[in-house]
Every structure is written in structure tokens, then in C-alpha cells.
A and B are shown apart, each in its own frame.
Chain A
């Protein structure tokens, strides 16, 4: 049994400690917002927050998540209102939408660490996330907008 803390809820998981968190979260806990895209740390569709860091859950073992704080896209905000989520909607970023759980989770860490990201910062933080629908220009715009919203919201800089 491994104790997991996902989106501030506690779970006792009876599974192989080597099972990637991606599949624990999707198939055992039943939160399907975190996506499988490649399984080999190439696409970023599976990004979650582990103690506030963006990690690829497809290559992160269950054992590593034990007792840590895990946040998935479902737990990023109470009401789809994290500045990145708001900005993503304002800019109509998603097309098929499949990559965007991961995109937003990556962007959220960037926005916390660099509240005023430059284009270069965005490139550095987001180059690990593939979007087959090609929404990249809007992702960039949305991150800049989210930075604005974040400033207005909390005076957090």
C-alpha cells in the first residue's frame, strides 16, 4: 500500500511501486485529465505537479509520489480560474485540446517562477510540450496574458 496525496485528497494505492503515476492517476484513481501521449518523456501531455514541480507522470514511478503533494489539472484551481486557465480560454487556445492539460500544467510552473516571462523563457519552459494541432502561437499569447492576469489578481510579482 502506498499513500498518495492527489489534489489534496488522500488515497491508499495497492499497485506495483514501479507503475508510472500517469497510469495510477488515470486507471486507478480515475482522474483522466492527465493524458498519455508518448510514454517516454517526449511530449508533455502527462505533466503533473509533484511538490510544485512540473514532472512527466509517464516516467515518474508511484514510489516516488509516495507521501508527496501531487496536483493534476483537475486540482489546479477550484473553478477553472488559474490565470493560465483563464488566459487559455480567453485566447481560445485549445483545438482538439488533448495536449492542453500538460501545456497548462507546464505553464503554471513557469508563471510561478517567472511572473513576467519573456518569449525566451516561454520557449525554454514549453519546448517539452508537443501540440500536434499546432496551437503554439496562442500558447505564447496566453502565457503573456496569464502573466498580466496574475499581476492584477494578487499583486504577486
Chain B
């Protein structure tokens, strides 16, 4: 199920309920049915439970007046911990800085999918959360009005209190909990309009920030439980390799090392083998690992090398039409007959996520259950995977979410929690398995390396046809094994309005496989598609002798796109720029938000190219926190800058060549251009914002370089210092 289907699904199957938990608190949430389809709302609690429906307690109001909000998704930097609270505080009328916020456990029955990916948290839950919070507020008002014997319309809520307008009488929410739990909530509540918002739409200071400036925030790697042991695993450096034999004698002599044994980690349908070293501290485990002697079995799979990977992809692109994802009109025919056409190849590298917090997980395997604590993006997937592998009931796999020191898609994989479970099972005790930075760099999974063949025909100063083919690894093949289908993400990033005005377009996936494990990487395929497709549009604009912005205006006819382009021109001074002054533009759509980048570059003496400025205009519809959006865009630009100009993962003879930040280098404070972010104001459905700021940066940069130097860059990464 895609994220958007998931969102649809959630809104179809959820309905609001209110319930008391004992007499100590008022608990408000949504009932979410496991199966799609209608459920009768007024069934009893018990029958709802039987039908697999549970209350997702998002708001808990204690009799003391204390309010606890649940953050049901992973907080990995993107700010949901704060923005979920912001949404609830607005309609519930409580003080944003007075409420408790709690991270939670994986529980799909309560919260729907908790897969924190696809920039889906806000866009997937805001409507429900607004309604839930407003309903809670109304019920509390009803309870107060009944207590005072007045009409509810004469009362209002503010800062966790219900107040009677005429008398100024006041009760705090906690005093109303017992009464409110007995009331039937109104079916319809009036939601505030944007003009009424006091909390939403404003850039309030993040609630998680203070925890992250004094060492208090508990990331997965910081979690401690009684009896915890520490482990690290020497895995086969070849990505599908096995262990032939190992000698643990030296490792076992390292003080603190307690156990050494073979462990098998599942990466979806494949297994990877390694040797686990368990010790009383992380460092002792690492020391033990250093003196391990392992013989690997590297048979039965291909030992790939990077040049060969891309050569094969590009050969396939020349010889195969691939699996069609979508075709409109007859681009192949038009291009075959066209006089003025382009046929070029783009190439994007494998990349590591390199979350600042290396991958790690705590597992405690017990006879009747498994408990997991860790920095995880997809608790429900872990439950699925671990329960399936162990043949255990899904409910017996308990996944507790901590703060994540970055996720970027890597921490949506269930491989490392499963590995921790296997280590815990072997030692019969809770264990924290920590991946070293080198493990993180060399073991993957990675963003897939992809080649694109882009063909286009130009006619009458415009685009007559577009034909795109990609050859790169399909993440679905890793997750689901349905290898006969075109990659559904072949067109990700490409703006939908283009389909309206360009009559002949096709996208195809030319299947390509290697043993390299791949996974989502921030903005997923848009992060690479965007580079190919938006660079190619720039090429066609030049071929048609059109201003690249005008070309986009010509083909993005819908009002939102036109307004976005207006804004992009306005903030960057696009129209006043001089010829070949070094301006580039790109626009991509990703997870229901459209983002346009303009990059300005100049010559940097004999040091190649300098980025002078980046302007970003975001249309994400209805939004919660403009400051968090701005931060997400700033971060996305930095991440895109690294992936476009600094680092790449390469393979040699089946092994990754990079090991740590000295050879997989990151952008640093000295590399960052000024970034100016603008957000479009409208009331359209909310789009995602954790990822959509990323894809358009690289093409805007290389388009700017073309504008300045006439040099077209079709392969990432490239070194800014070497462009002249």
C-alpha cells in the first residue's frame, strides 16, 4: 500500500470516540478498524474490541488538569513531536508549552500505520487530529455548562479551562473529566478557520529542542534497561556473504567480552551472516571484534563493481523498452519522426543514509514475547517481520519508539531490530546492538544507483514528446519480491500538470538487479528522478530557445503552479537577471508538495564554482509550522548538496569502498550557501514537508552551472571545484 492509499484508508476507517479510562483520566482518540470498511459507531466497547478496533488515545486529560498528548510517529528531526502538539493545542485550547508529549509504541490498531515515511505524518493525520481536539473541547464545554446549568453557547475554552462569558466563572479541564466522560460527543464540530488560528501556522519554538541542548533526549543508542548487555557484529563485507568459520579465542580474552557467536540477519528475503561479540560495554565489544578471526564464504552471488553496474544499466537502456509504467500519446513515434530531438543519459550514484546516530537497537527476547526499544521509523513493519520470522503472534512483538538521530528512510528497515532479537535470543538477556559508522557505511541498505535515458522532441518552440526510461534497482523487489512489475516510482518527482499540456509522455522501468540491498532515501526516487527529468527539461528549453522558467510556465498551466512560478520569479529577481549570469531553476513534486528551487552560481576564481544563493518556494497547502518547514528545506538543501557534489557509495569486487566520514565526506558548515525559503499561502490539503525540499536542488544547481558555463552535468556527484 502506498502512503497516499494508506492515508485514504485511515480516514475511511477511523471514527471519533471518547472514553473514560477508569475515573482518573479522560482519554480521547480515534477508533481505527483493522479492516477497511464501515463499522457501526455505536457498538459497545467490548464488541468494538472484538472486532479488532482499539482506541487510539491521542489526548489524555488527567483529573489534575494535566494533559498528555501522544506522538504516534517517529521524531527523527522533522518536527512531528512538536507539530502534532501544535495541532492538538490549537483546537483543544491548551497551552502548547504546558502539555506533556509522549513517544509511544507500535500499535497499528490504535494509530493506523506508523510508518514514518513518505512525509506522511501531518498530511495523514491532521484532519482527524483537528476534529478530535475540537470535539474534546466541545465535550468539556458541555460538561461545564451542565455543571453551571447554563447554555454551552455562553461558554468558551481557553488555556485548559472552560470559562463562562458573562460571569467569568472558570473550571479547569481536569475538574470536568469525570462528567465529560459520560457525555456523548457531538457528531459535528465547527473547526476554526485559518484566520482564527493562534498556534497553527505560527513558528513556535520546538518542544523537543530543550531536550536536545542538554543531553536529556533519549535516542535509541542512549536507552538503558536493567541487565542490558552490549554487542556489535562483524558482518560479511560482501553484501550477501556467509560465515564459513571463525576463531573467537582472542576476542574472548578481551576484558568485558562475554560471548561470541554466529548470527544471521534477515534483509527482507535475503540473509546476511556475521559474528556477534557481546560484552559489558560497547567499547569492549568493539575491541573483541577487532581481534576476531573470520573466514567468509563468498560464493553464490555476484561480486559487483560500480563501473560495471552503470555500464550494464546504460547498455540495457539502449537495448530495452523495459516495463511501461505509463504512456500517454505516442512519444516513441513522435520522437522517431522528429527532426529536432535529444537523447541523453543521466546517472545518479548509490548513497548511504549516514544518519548521525548510527543504526542500533535493543531487543529483549523472552519465552512469551519480544520487546524492542530503538530509533525506528516503522514499528509496525518490525512487528510484521519479527513475528513472521519467529513464528510468534504479532501482538507479542512490542516495539517502543525513542527519539531518532536521523532516519532518512534507513531506519524504516526491520533488519537491525531483527538482528538484535537474534542476539538477545542467543544470550537470553536484553542486548543493545550498535552498528559502527563503518558498518553503517559498508552494509547499507543504500539509495539505488540509477541510470536514466531521456529522449525528447522539440517543435515550434515547445516540447512535442518526452520519453523517460530508468534502470536502477527497485526497492519493491527487496521488500516484496514482485519483480515482474515496473517500479511504481519511475515518475516520482515529475509534476502532474505536465501530463495535461504535453500530449506525448511515457515512463518505463528497465529492470535491473544486483545483490546490493537498497531502500528509501529521503524523498526516495524523486531524489534522483528529479535530477534527470528537471535537467532534461532545461536541455529541451535551451534546444527550443526558451527561457527555462517560461517553458515551465507554458506547460504548468494550473493555478497553483502559476502562482508558485510568480513567487519564484519575484523572490529571486529571475526576470532581471542578465544573460548567462548563472541562474538555474527546477521544480519537483514529492509527497503532495511542490517545491521550486532557484540556484545562483558564479565562478570562484580558479576554484571552480561557488553557490551564491538558493531560493526555495514551497507549496505544501495547509501547514502547521512555517519555521519547521523552513528548517526541513534548509536541511534538505544541505543533504542534496552533499549527494550532488560531495559523496557517493561505490563498489569494488562486491564490497563498498567507503568506510567513514573521511572517505564518505559530509557537507560542513563551511560549504553552506545562503538559503531563503518562502511558503505559499493557501488552504489546499496539506502536503508532506520532511522530504519534498530535496529533489529540485541538484537540477537547479546543474542548470545554473549550464547557464554560467555552457557545461551540462549529467552525472552525480561532481566536484564544484572542478567545474570550469
Asked if A and B are interacting partners, one says: yes
Q: When the two chains form their complex, are residues A135 and B634 in contact, meaning their CB atoms are under 8 A apart?
A: yes
Chain A residues contacting B667 (CB-CB under 8 Å) are 134, 136
The reply on B460 being an interface residue by CB < 8 A is: no
Contact check, A73 vs B215: say whether CB atoms are below 8 A apart. yes
Binding stretch for chain A, among B398-406, B419-427, B532-540, B561-569: B398-406
Say yes or no: A127 contacts B670, CB within 8 Å: yes
* Cβ-neighbour of A98 out of B405, B434, B662 (below 8 A): B405
B638 within 8 A of A: yes
Scoring A residues 66 to 104 as 1 if CB is less than 8 Å from chain B, else 0, what string do you get? 000000111011001000010011101111111111001
What separation, in Å, do the CA atoms of A89 and B208 have in the docked complex?
A: 9
- A80 near B205 (CB under 8 angstroms)? no
With A23-B283, A89-B210, A134-B635 known as contacts, the answer to whether A95 contacts B78 (CB < 8 A) is yes
- How far, in Å, is B350 (CB) from chain A's closest CB? 17
Quick one: CB contact mask for A23-64 with B, threshold 8 Å, 1 for yes?
100111011111111111011010000000000000000000
Question: Which of B160-168, B355-363, B443-451, B706-714 forms contacts with chain A?
Answer: B355-363
CB of B217 within 8 A of chain A? yes
Residue in B closest to A20 when the chains form the complex, CB atoms: B283
Bound-state CA distance A38–B632 (Å) is: 24
Distance, CA A93 to CA B211, complexed state (A): 12
**Residue on A nearest B219 in the bound complex, by CB:** A98
B222's partner among A23, A32, A37 (CB-CB below 8 A) is A32
Complex CA–CA separation, A2 to B434 (angstroms): 26
Are the C-beta atoms of A130 and B661 separated by less than 8 Å?
yes
In the assembly, what is the distance between CA of A130 and CA of B670, in Å? Answer: 11
Count the B residues whose beta carbon is within 8 Å of the partner chain — how many?
Answer: 64
Contact: B215 with A136, CB < 8 Å? no
Residues of chain A with a CB closer than 8 A to B221's CB: 32, 35-36
Is the beta-carbon distance between B669 and A88 smaller than 8 angstroms? no
Verify if B409 is at the interface (C-beta below 8 Å from A): no
Q: Please report the C-alpha to C-alpha distance between residue A94 and residue B206 in the assembled complex, in whole angstroms.
A: 9
Contact of B282 with A23 in the complex, beta carbons under 8 Å: yes
| B687 in the interface (beta carbon within 8 A) | no
B596 contacts partner chain A, Cβ-Cβ < 8 Å: no
A40 touches B437 (CB 8 A): yes
Contact digits for B122-140, partner A, Cβ 8 Å, 1 yes 0 no: 0000000000000000000
**Any B CB within 8 A of the CB of A139:** yes
Q: Is the CB of A96 within 8 A of B209?
A: no
A27–B405 contact, CB under 8 A? no
A1 at the interface (CB under 8 A from B): no
Would you give the shortest CB distance from B547 to chain A, in whole angstroms? 30
B44 interfacial by beta-carbon distance below 8 Å: no
B-contact bits for A87-129, CB 8 A (1 contact / 0 none): 0111011111111110010000000000000000011001101
Does B189 touch A at the CB level, under 8 Å? no
- Which of A3-27 touch B at CB < 8 Å? 15-16, 19-20, 22-23, 26-27
One of B215, B222, B408 near A72 (C-beta < 8 A): B215
Nearest Cβ distance between residue B354 and chain A, in whole angstroms?
6
A contact residues around B669 at 8 Å (CB): 122-123, 126-127, 129, 131, 136, 139-140
Per DSSP, chain B at the interface is loop
Q: If A38-B660, A42-B661 touch, does A130 touch B283 (CB 8 Å cutoff)?
A: no
State whether A33 and B215 are in contact (beta carbons under 8 Å apart), knowing that A92-B205, A94-B209 are contacts in the complex: yes
A151 within 8 Å of B (CB atoms): no
Question: Are B638 and A134 neighbours in the complex by a CB distance under 8 Å?
Answer: yes
Report the nearest A residue to B661, measured CB to CB.
Answer: A42
A22-B347 Cα distance, complex, nearest whole Å? 40
Q: Are A96 and B224 in contact, with the CB atoms below 8 A?
A: no
Taking a contact as CB atoms under 8 Å apart, the answer to whether A98 and B356 are in contact is: yes
The answer to whether A127 touches B668, judged by C-beta atoms less than 8 angstroms apart, is yes
**Neighbouring B residues of A19 by C-beta, 8 Å:** 281, 283
Measured CB to CB, the nearest residue on chain A to B436 is A39
Contact (A95, B631) CB under 8 Å given A40-B437, A42-B662: yes
Given contacts A32-B222, A96-B77, contact A133 B406 (CB under 8 A): yes
Nearest CB of chain B from residue A119's CB, rounded to whole Å: 10
Do the beta carbons of A138 and B631 come within 8 Å of each other? yes
Q: Which residues of B contact A104 (CB under 8 A)?
A: 213
Bound complex: CA A120 to CA B674 (Å):
15
A89 touches B636 (CB 8 A): no
Indicate whether A94 sits within 8 Å of B208 (C-beta atoms), given known contacts A76-B214, A136-B638. yes
Q: Are B670 and A92 in contact (CB under 8 A)?
A: no
Asked if B651 is at the interface of the complex by the 8 Å CB criterion, the answer is no
Contact between B404 and A96, CB atoms less than 8 A apart: yes
For B217-232 the 0/1 string (1 means CB < 8 A from A) is 1110110100000100
Check A101–B215 contact: CB distance below 8 A.
yes
How far apart are the CA atoms of A99 and B404 in the complex, in Å? 12
B627 touches A92 (CB 8 A): yes
Q: Which of B623-638 contact A (CB under 8 A)?
A: 627-628, 631-632, 634-638
Smallest beta-carbon distance B231→chain A, Å: 12
Given A32-B222, A39-B436, A42-B661: A88 in contact with B356 (beta carbons within 8 A): no
Q: Judging by beta carbons under 8 Å apart, are B215 and A27 in contact?
A: no
Shortest CB–CB separation between residue B228 and chain A, in angstroms?
10
Q: Tell me the B358-413 residues at the A interface (CB within 8 Å).
A: 358, 403-408
Where the two chains meet, the residues of B that have a C-beta atom closer than 8 Å to any C-beta of A are: 76-79, 203, 205-206, 208-219, 221-222, 224, 230, 255, 281-283, 286-287, 354-358, 403-408, 434, 436-437, 627-628, 631-632, 634-639, 660-662, 666-670, 672, 674-675
21 pairs across A/B with beta carbons < 8 Å?
A27-B281, A38-B437, A39-B436, A40-B662, A43-B437, A73-B213, A85-B213, A92-B203, A92-B205, A94-B209, A95-B78, A126-B669, A129-B668, A130-B666, A136-B638, A136-B668, A136-B669, A137-B634, A137-B672, A138-B631, A140-B669
Residues of A within 8 A of B (CB): 15-16, 19-20, 22-23, 26-28, 30-40, 42-43, 45, 72-74, 76-77, 80, 85, 88-90, 92-101, 104, 122-123, 126-127, 129-140
Inter-chain pairs besides A95-B631, A96-B76, 18 sampled, C-beta below 8 Å: A19-B281, A19-B283, A23-B281, A27-B230, A38-B437, A38-B661, A40-B437, A43-B437, A89-B209, A95-B632, A96-B407, A97-B209, A97-B403, A127-B670, A131-B356, A132-B406, A133-B77, A134-B639
